[in-house]
Amino acid sequence: MAQTKKLLGEIDQTCKKVQEHLKEFRSLFEKVYTLQGTLREKAELDLRWQIIKLKGMSGLTGRDSQSAPRR
């Protein structure tokens, strides 16, 4: 029972973090499409950085993030 409560707490924390980062990602995504020129390029770099950050939070780093080998 204690393990279940702990797991539910961890799930809640993870969901909250995902929500926070999703809001930030959406705002950057909208900014990219409203800007022009060099400002747009800078915003695209920020957006890429956020994607990398989100991938790191998901635990999909290294070999885990790569697709299965093709046959």
Residue 1, domain member (yes or no): no
Structural domain containing residue 47: 23-55
Predicted confidence at residue 59, as pLDDT, reads: 65
Residue 48, domain member (yes or no): yes
Q: What is the pLDDT of residues 6-63, one digit of tens each?
A: 999 999 999 998 898 888 888 877 877 788 888 888 888 888 888 888 788 766 544 4
Q: How far apart are CA 62 and CA 43, in angstroms?
A: 26
Per-residue burial over 29-42, b if 16 or more Cβ lie within 10 Å, else e, is eebbeeeeeeeeee
Residue 37, domain member (yes or no): yes
Angle subtended at Cα 37 by Cα 31 and Cα 40, rounded to the nearest 5 degrees: 25
Over 60: is that where the pLDDT of 71 sits?
no
Looking at the structure of the chain, the number of domains it has is: 1
